[in-house]
Amino acid sequence: MIMAIKNEYLKSVYEELVARAPWETEFHQAVEEVFISLEPIIENHPEYQQAGIMERIVEPERIICFRVPWVDDSGKVRVNRGYRVQFNSAIGPYKGGLRFHPSVNLSVMKFLGFEQIFKNSLTGLPMGGGKGGCDFDPKGKSDAEVMRFCQSFMTELEKHIGADTDVPAGDIGVGAREIGFLYGQYKRLRNEHTGVLTGKKVGAGGSLARTEATGFGLCYFTERVLGSIGESFKGKRVVVSGSGNVATYACCKATELGGKVVAMCDSNGYIVDENGIDYKVIQEIKEVKRDRIKTYVDYVPTAQYFEGCKGIWTVPCDVALPCATQNEVQGDDAEILIKNGLKCICEGANMPCSPEAVHAVQSAGVAFGPAKAANAGGVATSGLEMSQNSMRLSWTFEEVDDRLKKIMDGIFESCQSAAERAGQPGNLLVGANVAGFLKVADAMLWQGIAY
Ligand code: NDP
């Protein structure tokens, strides 16, 4: 049976949150998971309850919701809805990506912003939590349409962000092209070249290794998780879901570390390549051609394509790296993975495993790396991009990659020791939530109840 919140204080905060907006299901899922992990902390620290830390931490400091009108190539006026959730600035300026996808709504924005608070805290860098996006779908749009949309989106967002206030980045549907259009419009409106967005082009304020950072960081973290059970990537069969930014560079690094990535997908279907997927082909299909993953078989005729992305979890593997979207691994998928010999699952996407899936893998003794720790390499490297922008310096690829690896090692170690302190050794989910929370809660206590 899945765990539920037992502590009376946490339960009452959670129930009030659900009663206020029962439809925000993704947000509630993220909050419930964190609250369950924090029970021993709340019981031992009455000062958090006295200062209303939990009531405050689940309420965004500010939510901006705005109209995004733009004109398509046929001259028709289109209107989308944009968001920026400035969730928590206790330890630094708000920081978190922008997602452009038809499924974006306030619940998704709030779940992502809430997760970001703890993730950013875990990196050890001074960054608060935020997230934004729009229900716009860049898929199938021309470059000119994407540009007009981004310019309209930034025309409003510009009023609320800044290098010392709120620094957005990419996420689903927001890659190098979109960041370029957004940055261009910001610069035009403000007449300043600052570190207001991360994921910028290298040579125009961007950091080397930012593109690779989330996928690489995920694999550095996974290698540590595997190490904790006496294993490594060497010789392992790996399944990576998705074929976007995170998935592509996870495939690259997992292969470099000795694993064999046998399956990847997009939202239409999945490919299986028993010889090991070549990430350069995925790069060509996704980043250059903006095409579908089924075309992989045109480049590698020995590979197979299957319709429907859910089937990817039936491909036997030792290591699973879900890198597509929230709740993509359900309880039944986890059961199949376990039956097929899964040893380790680390989350590249945000909240890709449902509570039932997390419960199934943890109960089966499968090593589990939670998203807020495992995929923190992206935002950590965004933090390094902000540092380089402030110093007007550019570090080499090796320098950034080396710092990223050290940050991922540090995150793994702080999750491990927080789990031990919480009386649940080896439970990295509890460790990540506790370690991420304490720093933010103490900063909130220190700053009083002004916000
Ligand atoms: P991209 O847009 O580059 O790629 C997303 C991939 O996931 C695509 O292959 C897409 O397929 C697939 N996908 C999206 N939605 C669904 C769905 N509903 N069902 C099946 N597949 C889907 O995004 P990113 O790689 O940047 O992000 C992936 C995940 O990683 C997200 O959860 C994001 O929040 C998280 N993340 C990203 C970071 C980053 O630095 N980019 C940092 C930390 C976390 P299709 O093309 O068919 O839509």
> Is 266 near ligand 1, meaning CB less than 6 Å away?
yes
Which residue's CA lies nearest to atom 20 of ligand 1? Answer: 267
Q: Looking at domain 62-193, does it have CATH number 3.40.50.10860? A: yes
Asked if pLDDT for residue 184 goes beyond 70, the answer is: yes
pLDDT attached to residue 2: 73
Indicate the pLDDT class of residue 221, thresholds 50, 70 and 90: very high
pLDDT tens per residue, range 404-450: 999 999 999 999 999 999 999 999 999 999 999 999 999 999 999 97
Tell me which residue of 94, 351, 323 sits closest to 214, measured CA to CA. Answer: 323
User: What is the 10 CA–ligand 1 centroid distance (Å)?
Assistant: 32
Q: Assess whether the C-beta atom of 321 lies below 6 angstroms from ligand 1.
A: no
Structure tokens at 368: 């589990």
Distance in Å, CA 248 to ligand 1 centroid: 10
The whole model's pTM is what? 0.97
Atom number, ligand 1, closest to the C-alpha of residue 309: 20
Nearest ligand 1 atom to alpha carbon 170: 41
Cα–ligand 1 centroid distance for 221 (angstroms): 19
What superfamily does domain 212-369 belong to in CATH? NAD(P)-binding Rossmann-like Domain (3.40.50.720)
Contact 68, 132 (CB under 8 A): no
What type of residue sits at position 87?
F
Ligand 1 pocket mutation, candidates 267, 351, 381, criterion most atoms within 8 A of CB: 267
Spatial CA neighbour of 100 closest among 137, 144, 128, 141: 137
Residues designated catalytic: 131
pLDDT attached to residue 78: 98
Largest CA distance in the chain: 64
Is any atom of ligand 1 closer than 6 Å to the C-beta of 171?
Answer: yes
Q: Does residue 324's CB lie within 6 angstroms of at least one atom of ligand 1?
A: yes
pLDDT over threshold 60, residue 366: yes
Mean pLDDT in residue range 354-375: 98
Confidence of residue 16 (pLDDT cuts 50, 70, 90): very high
CB of 96 within 8 A of CB of 169? yes
Instruction: Tell me what pLDDT residue 451 has.
Output: 55
Residue range(s) occupied by CATH 3.40.50.720 in the chain: 212-369
* pLDDT of the residue at 3: 79
Mean of per-residue pLDDT scores for the chain: 97
What pLDDT, on the 0 to 100 scale, is given for residue 170? 97
Q: Collect all residues with Cβ–Cβ distance below 8 Å to 34 and sequence separation of at least 6.
A: 114, 118, 433, 437
Q: What is the pLDDT of residues 64-97, one digit of tens each?
A: 999 999 999 999 999 999 999 999 999 999 999 9
Residue 323 beta carbon below 6 angstroms from any ligand 1 atom: yes
Residue 338 has pLDDT above 70, yes or no: yes
CB of 116 shorter than 6 A to ligand 1 = no
User: So what's the pLDDT on residue 195?
Assistant: 93
**CATH 3.40.50.10860 in the chain, residues?**
62-193
Nearest CA to ligand 1 atom 23: 172
Taking only the tens place, the pLDDT of each residue in 142-179 is 999 999 999 999 999 999 999 999 999 999 999 999 99
Name the residue with the closest Cα to ligand 1, atom 32: 349
Average pLDDT rounded to a whole number, residues 40-56? 96
Whole-number percent of the chain with pLDDT over 90: 99
CB of residue 283 inside a 6 A radius of ligand 1? no
